[in-house]
Amino acid sequence: MSEESFYKAKEIYGETFYQLPKVLFTNPLYKGISNDAKVAYALLKDRFNYSIRNNWVDENDNIYFIFTNDELMSLLSSGNQKVIKIKKELDSVGLLLQKRMGVNKPNHLYLLRPEVEATDVYKQVNSSNVDTSGNVKITLPE
């Protein structure tokens, strides 16, 4: 194992990460979508932040972004049909809206907030109580 493979304390702060909301794994509304769609949501959220910095807002003050299928195909190492399917999945659960802008113009994409219910918060808070000792424990809520 080479020395370059190890994380160094001073280098760890320079890493960047995609954010993947926990609610996509706890809310029954999102449990049916594929993990590819969940990862795509994180990628789109990252691009969404770029739009905020560039003040890309529509006439209703809604933030939009542009992310072509080719860009998403490249990041996900997927084909066009898979990317279209992923976008439809996100659209079907209310996480993505695509607004057509005309012929030969990229769609404006709107990332929508996931629904969060009290049970999702409960599940997320209690997930920190997970036993990592290797023993299986089943704990039911009171």
Query: How far apart (Å, rounded) are the C-alpha atoms in residues 86 and 34?
Result: 8
Per-residue pLDDT at 105: 86
Distance of CA 51 to the CA centre of its chain: 16
- Between 38 and 101, the more confident residue is 38
Per-residue pLDDT at 119: 74
DSSP codes, 39-100: HHHHHHHHHHHHHHHTT-B-TTS-B-B---HHHHHHHHT--HHHHHHHHHHHHHTTSEEEE-
Output the average pLDDT for the chain. 83
Residues of the chain above pLDDT 90, percent? 47
Of the pLDDT bands very low, low, confident and very high (cuts 50, 70, 90), residue 48 is: confident
What does DSSP say about strands 96-99 and 108-111: parallel, antiparallel, or unpaired? antiparallel
**CATH tag, 15-129:** 1.10.10.10
pTM across the whole model: 0.75
Query: How far apart (Å, rounded) are the C-alpha atoms in residues 68 and 109?
Result: 9
Per-residue pLDDT at 4: 72
Per-residue pLDDT at 50: 84
The arithmetic mean of pLDDT across residues 10-25, rounded, is 81
71-126 pLDDT, tens digit each: 999 999 999 999 999 999 999 999 999 999 888 888 899 999 998 877 766 665 55
pLDDT at 35 over 80: yes
Per-residue pLDDT at 10: 72
